[in-house]
Amino acid sequence: MIATRNNLNSIHRPQTAPAAAVRLEELIGNTPLLRLDRAAAAHGVAPGVSLLAKAEWTNPGGSVKDRAALNIIRAAERAGGLRPGMTLLDATSGNTGIAYAMLGAARGYRVKLAVPENVSPERVAILRAYGAELILTDPLEGSDGAIREARRLAAADPTVFYADQYNNPANWQAHYLTTAEEIWRQTGGAISHFVAGVGTSGTFTGVTRRLRELNPEVVCYAAQPDGPFNGLEGWKHMATAIVPGIYDEHLADGNLSVRTEDAYAMARFLARNEGLLVGVSSAAAVAAALQVATGLDEGVVVTILPDSGFKYLSEGFWAG
């Protein structure tokens, strides 16, 4: 038989995928736990205290939000509320939207997102590259304005699946089932303090609930911006914002506040001293974790780095 392109393909194409091949969603989770030794030393943390952080930008969509988006989608599929060809709708400040758009493209869903107009241009470009439809909302209203627009769109079109990440329990359950278990395993159960920023509050809520089951002595802190007007994209100042339905104000052992300027400074420090190019919310999380770590003589403090700095390179604070 003469070999042609068509029959060569039929001869050599494997009938089943190689054993080492994986689906996109299998790349989500199992992120590295990093030591932040230089940051700890530079800020006077005692030698007996370890400062550690989960590098969530290693998820395929580039952020911690891949975990929640995947669990929200899977839960909706199991319940029959989301089927191929449908449109997934939600409000986002960027990262959850990117995760939705990535997974939607992979699983056959259209994705429509209400997004504040002032999110970084890199995020907008990524969302459009994945084919998401964007409705840009008033930048002065922040994520709350996007939430109100998503609710309006959902009410006007009952055929869409409104993911509603701020009120969907599948959000925090993703971190209860995965992130907390990874932290416990990676620290050998030695974690003494957990610190995370709150936006939807899914990461903090899910991790804290599971860690409390594993060891009731773990101390958990929620971190927020120090005021309603801030540059900590993805975080919420709960006293003045639309409070997510999944947020439990009684869950944290303590609440920490972070100034935008301190987060910017920490982003520069981590890039130039740890070799970690992280996003603003990641830098803010480290600043908050240091508030805890500097008050200890011994312990293992773990925080979450939600994303890298690549989506923020157009911001001016890097030159400081």
The helix (H) or strand (E) run that includes residue 205 is: helix 202-214
Cα–Cα dist 143/37, whole Å: 34
Q: Among candidates 269, 287, 296, 284, which has minimal Cα distance to 191?
A: 296
Which position among 93, 192, 281, 282 bears the catalytic label? 281
The string over 107-144, giving b where at least 16 C-beta atoms fall within 10 Å of a residue's C-beta and e elsewhere, is bebbbbbbbbeebbebbbebbeebebebbbbeeeebbb
Selecting among 65, 112, 236, 311, the annotated active-site residue is: 65
Q: Which residues contact 71 (CB under 8 A, 6 or more apart)?
A: 170, 171, 173, 174, 177
| 281 catalytic residue (yes or no) | yes
- Measured in degrees and rounded to the nearest 5, phi and psi for residue 210 equal -75, -40
C-beta neighbour count of 181 within 10 angstroms: 17
Residue 96 in contact with residue 168, Cβ under 8 Å?
A: no
112 is catalytic: no
Active site residues: 65, 281
